[in-house]
Structure 1
Amino acid sequence: MHKFNYTHRQKLIKSDIGISTFVNDKNLCFYLHSLDLERYEFPEEAEISLEAKRLTTHMQFSLGTIANPEFRPHKNILSEFHDPSEIQFRVKIIEPATGMLLGEVDNLKAGSPNDDESGLGDSLLPIMSENLEDMVWFLDMTDTGPVLLINSNQIKSDVSTSDSFRALVFPQIIYQIFTHIYYIEKLDYDEEDTDYWVQLWYKFAIKEMGSQTLPPPIDAENTDIKDWITQATATFAKRLDCNRLYTKLMEG
């Protein structure tokens, strides 16, 4: 097992790595459908390592070297996992002679961040099943970003993608997340940061609202911050057409 030296470690950009999952002969497998590492100028002999994880479950895979990556999708069997949407991936680039960690990216999700109608997707808002007793859902603000928990007694995909759930819950999720960012994380918008979860959510809001409505700084007036959070929530609700979905739901 490598003992990693973190000197001069580069932070990989999530969009440079694409991971997909599929089922082959009843086995859940993964493959890298995109891997763009040229900009980092890693040595050709550097090793590519991938870790799949959920809570206390971990699996490690060796994917060859920078010069000769081994994609071998049918051999990358995720035997310890059942639900691909609950798996997070970590990719590391390692100098084999010294064990130096040359680069890494954590908390990757399989699939595109724009796979669903909401535009949130698993990369921005992972969805996991947990025993929530009498609660249908709960927004867990972890150190690596928000995670939407759905009661394990529910069918996760049906609940989180239903019209009623989108109309009633998703705007509230947006409001909770940005309230947490401003009053707990207390981090300003940084245009150059393309990886930290807070900045990814800021960029999501700017994409929704338009670049003319940038997030106010942390030290802005409280009313300005609340107005911006409310506007971000309302803009998201309008794009999802939440009022129409709710009216349709009530009319049966």
Structure 2
Amino acid sequence: MATTKRRINFTNRKRISHEAIDIRLLDTPPGAAPRATAELKLDGFGFPETAEVAIEAYRGSSLMRFGCGTVGNLSVPPLMIIDDIDVGGNVQFRVKVVDTHGVVGLLAALASHVRPKSKDDGDGRRSLLTIRYHDLGSELWRVSVDENEPPALVLNYRATGIEDRIINDPLVRGLLMPAAFRIVLEKLVLLTPPDEDDETDWKRDWLKFCDEELGIEDSPFELDKDERAEWIDEAVKVFSSRATFLEKVRAKAGEV
């Protein structure tokens, strides 16, 4: 729903915790516009009851804005169809609270770089490697890694059944996932170190996974080039072992 543009004053802006926001991407057919649902919990922040609330879905410089009523009377759309932004990247979200009193609208609070959850995310957890579809020509898959966007496994939407094969065929999964994991780590170590206090930084999530789930404690940003290569090799080795790719391939083949 379109809203009137107004100048925004950033004075005394508050931050909305991402824990107060639950945005989930829904399953859509390849090539279809993304769809999402949202739940906001803005109680306890001290925002004016009459302040307007909006969710913005964006890719790059393009965005769609969805009005959500006011703090005192939230009216979040039951379904957000994101069909008017640029294609070719991950969808991210912002939540804004705007105090409309006075001549200039005051941006009272903001949550930026909100990463949506997917069907694969458990409560309080987010998928490290999201899946999205694109026309890749003759390529079947690709990994997208960017400083400001979480990594994504990009699948060719013209390759019928490719996601199902990745999920259900242990050989395909075992060939693809360690390679994709390695690509992300190789790109990660060349980027700027994550801000440990920034909950929106995907690099922090990946390093936390390597530390807590794989037992790879060293930070690659404190290592030299050769040590980083060894760090990546060890992380991929442990990741593959924990996922039991080889064992699942042998089991399906009937081997002991």
TM-score using structure 1 length: 0.75
- Measured in 2, the distance between the counterparts of 1:195 and 1:113 equals 19
- Taking the TM superposition and a 5 Å limit, the aligned residue runs for 1:36-51 are 36-38=41-43, 40-51=45-56
Partners of 2:25 and 2:116 within 8 A in 1: no
Seq. identity, %: 24
Match of 2:223 among 214, 220, 225: 220
Query: For residues 38 and 236 of structure 1, what CA distance do their matches in structure 2 show?
Result: 40
Q: Give secondary structure in 2 for the equivalent of 1:148.
A: strand
Q: Distance in 2 between matches of 1:49 and 1:56?
A: 17
Q: Does the 8 Å contact 2:18/2:111 carry over to 1?
A: no
More helix by share: 1
1:205 partnered with 2:210 = yes
1:91-124 superposed Cα distances (whole Å, 9 cap, x missing partner): 2222223333321222432436635xxx872xx3
Change in Cα spacing, 1:160 to 1:45, as seen in structure 2 (3 Å) is: farther
Partner of 1:145 in structure 2?
A: 150
Give the aligned partner of residue 32 of structure 1. Answer: 38
CA–CA distance in structure 2, aligned partners of residues 166 and 245 of structure 1: 10
For structure 1, the 5+ residue unaligned runs are: none
**Does the CA-based 8 Å contact 2:150-2:202 persist in structure 1?**
yes
Secondary structure of 1:111's counterpart equals coil
Q: 1:194 aligns to what? A: 199
What SS does the aligned partner of 1:167 have?
helix
Alpha carbons 2:97, 2:110 under 8 Å: kept:
yes
Partner of 2:64: 59
Q: What is the one-letter code of the residue matched to 1:108? A: R
Partner Cα distance (1:246, 1:127) in 2 = 23
Say if 2:227 is the partner of 1:237. no
AA matched with 1:51: E
**Ranges in structure 2 where 5+ consecutive residues have no aligned partner:** 28-33, 85-89
CA RMSD in angstroms comes to 3.4
Separation of aligned partners in 2, 1:128 and 1:29: 13
Quick one: which amino acid aligns to residue 106 of structure 1? Answer: H
SS at structure 2 position matched to 1:164? helix
CA contact (8 A) 1:93 1:104 kept: no
